[in-house]
Structure 1
């Protein structure tokens, strides 16, 4: 099978976009080709023609399919058209371009999310030593006691129990302690997992938890997405929306070895199909976030 036939078959189900809408997608395609090694691209005398060597026909077809499938202008491809690894790598590249405004130790990471049960706002202490708060739109506040001198206040509901504390370790929401290398991040996620060995769906939930309500420096967030790309059995999902109804391209993890496929639902994280910025997941959408000086403030 020649390259053109393979590409035609891989992209047959993907609708065409307007030429102007493909500019960003075209740039991403060239980035993927460059990532495979610029030594594989040899210019001819005619500068408008190229010979691609060392890159297999299947690889070229996959790259073209991913770019066409993720082109902007509202096009939503079939699930098989998008390459989950390419999507996560593009999300990592987008994360590296984000503006980094490191919070001060006494500040808070504000996050507003939309869930099936309503909206939720949270104020997490940047250094883990200050008292934060979770607020639900339907009513109810959940204190997040800071850990100071190895002790944290104990609450009963919303009320602190006078004179009652418990041992603790600060849990900062500004995560400068995490790796900036994909392999090291994957090792961290494997060692600090919430599920059993081989439960990549649980790892997906851990990744969502880090992406949702923590402040990750750009290099750390990029490493998180690149580490996610190392999970076996990833699948791209078309026509996916986050909990706020925003359309995007979804990445889902395989269920864990002990999960009942009739009951358990795989984690699906959602990225904007045009910018690859993180939107949330199928059950939780991040609608606002930022750094604030005090609980109750909003960016």
Structure 2
């Protein structure tokens, strides 16, 4: 990975430094009323490293667009005027509705076909080893943006080795052997949620498997529902979230929230996001409360006849 010289700051860095200066100035002003966090994409970006689980053999190629680190800001980088807000609906109720909708979808994948997936990826990350002054510099070296991939069904779509029942899927999420009871630890709940997030984002699941997964997730303690959740493509939806866990990690301390986002009308899975909930603790921290840490937005997913074919 090449290092950008100090005198040649990457695009957006000047704006980030200006924001730091403005925060210094604002610290001498009377405090403003507390507002609900809003989604704001930071000026500096880096690649997604989502912990997606692959259950198909990848033999296609990835095509990256809008991926140049020195390119213009994408149109969905503006501050959202629709902050997230907690819903009165329970996570169990929403996930049951999602499971019912998922179970009705046609499979469409068998034989030598391919699963086509188009995503919009975003990931913020700082590297303490690289600094601007005495503050960590954000990495901007790898592609991000709209990507396409083709995964071979390879005859495994109908027999992925994943349970099709809720109890079996729950045990799979928690890594429990038959007869073993859950530990009840918060860390186990967080790991199960992250595991589910990676599976949903990384794979096209058979309808019964997907339904079982949603119902298993509903059994994880500590989940809430928020409306107005926003993904990397700047789309909004309703999300099942877990506070205090980062499905997509970042190099800044703070309070993360991980979100599984669904279309409010169709209940289709839209992707995952991790949001920072806490205000900066010092002048070196660039993420404000409500800033998007990382997101994988699934723009399109379908079964096609051959590698390279689009729906």
CA RMSD of aligned residues (A): 3.0
SS of match in other structure, 1:115: strand
| Cα shift at 1:176 | 3.6
SS of match in other structure, 1:124: strand
| TM alignment of 1:222-233, pairs within 5 A | 222-233=211-222
Q: Look up the match of 2:261.
A: 270
Note the alpha carbon deviations across 1:160-188, whole angstroms, 9 max, x for none.
Answer: xxxxxxxxxxxx56654211111110101
1: CA distance, partners of 2:218 / 2:263: 17
Question: 8 Å contact 1:200–1:253 — kept in the other structure?
Answer: no
Higher Cα Rg, which structure: 1
| TM alignment of 1:197-236, pairs within 5 A | 198-236=187-225
1:292 and 2:304 correspond: yes
Q: Look up the match of 1:42.
A: none
Q: Look up the match of 2:28.
A: none
| Shift in alpha-carbon separation, 1:84–1:224, aligned structure 2, 3 A | same
Question: 8 Å contact 1:107–1:126 — kept in the other structure?
Answer: yes
SS of match in other structure, 1:291: strand
| Shift in alpha-carbon separation, 1:202–1:266, aligned structure 2, 3 A | farther
| TM alignment of 1:1-299, pairs within 5 A | 78-104=85-111, 106-116=112-122, 117-127=144-154, 176-191=160-175, 198-255=187-244, 262-263=253-254, 265-282=256-273, 283-299=295-311
Give the unaligned 5+ runs of structure 2.
1-81, 123-143, 177-184, 274-294
Higher relative contact order (CA 8 A, sep 6+): 2
| Cα shift at 1:91 | 0.4
1: CA distance, partners of 2:99 / 2:117: 21
Q: How many equivalent pairs are there?
A: 177
2: CA distance, partners of 1:182 / 1:281: 22
Give the unaligned 5+ runs of structure 1.
1-74, 129-171
| Cα shift at 1:125 | 2.0
Instruction: Please report the TM-score for the alignment, with normalisation by the length of structure 1.
Output: 0.52
Question: 8 Å contact 1:88–1:226 — kept in the other structure?
Answer: yes
Q: Look up the match of 1:22.
A: none
| Shift in alpha-carbon separation, 1:232–1:287, aligned structure 2, 3 A | same
1: CA distance, partners of 2:229 / 2:245: 22
Instruction: Please report the TM-score for the alignment, with normalisation by the length of structure 2.
Output: 0.51
Question: 8 Å contact 1:200–1:255 — kept in the other structure?
Answer: no
| Shift in alpha-carbon separation, 1:217–1:239, aligned structure 2, 3 A | same
Question: 8 Å contact 1:79–1:237 — kept in the other structure?
Answer: yes
1: CA distance, partners of 2:110 / 2:298: 19
| Shift in alpha-carbon separation, 1:183–1:242, aligned structure 2, 3 A | same
SS of match in other structure, 1:204: helix
